[in-house]
Amino acid sequence: MRDLPSLPCFPCPHSSSCCAYGVTLSDDEASAIALAHGEATIYRTRWGEWRTRVRSGRCVFLRENVCSIHSEPYYPAVCGGFPWTDAETGGPYEYDRTICPQFVIRPELVQVYTKKSVSGEEKA
């Protein structure tokens, strides 16, 4: 297990800004979510990716600043790995880290994962 600092994610002091864009889903996640919550909760982009819908500036599964599918087996891997692990590559999350204001407040957090490999060993 990696020794990574915790973020103040619950309750989120930033109104769950990381949930503002929805999330990319695997085919299996999209199927399970559509089955459990209806097809209106997901969509396919013009590039063929499955994503959760966004309404009122937040993912449809965010309710009262809490993810309503967090404990479900189809909880998106992208969400489970953020902000430390990219669900697609298994490496460090490399996209726009400014989606979580905590990275602006505590810039040292951005460097934590990039200095370690997935196994937790220091990179040369």
Residue owning tokens 């490496």: 91
Average pLDDT (36-49) is 97
Give the list of residues 6+ apart from residue 24 with CB closer than 8 angstroms, or none.
49, 50, 51, 76, 78
CA distance linking residue 88 with residue 81, whole number of Å: 10
Collapsed DSSP state (helix, strand, coil) of residue 23: coil
CB 80 within 8 A of CB 42: no
Q: Which token pair is 75?
A: 């909880």
Nearest 10 degrees: CA dihedral of 73, 90, 59, 57?
Answer: 170
- Statement: residue 1 has pLDDT above 60: no
Q: What are the residue ranges spanned by the domains of the chain?
A: 15-81, 84-124
Q: What is the tens place of the pLDDT at every residue in 2-40? A: 566 677 777 788 888 888 889 999 999 999 999 999 999
User: Which DSSP string do the residues of 35-104 spell out, in sequence order?
Assistant: HHH-GGGEEE-TTS-EEE-EETTEETTEETTEETTTTSTT--HHHHHTTTB-TTTSSB--S-GGGSTHHH
Q: What is the tens place of the pLDDT at every residue in 105-120? A: 887 776 665 554 444 4
Greater model confidence, 84 or 55: 55
For the question of whether the overall pTM of this predicted structure is more than 0.75, the answer is: yes
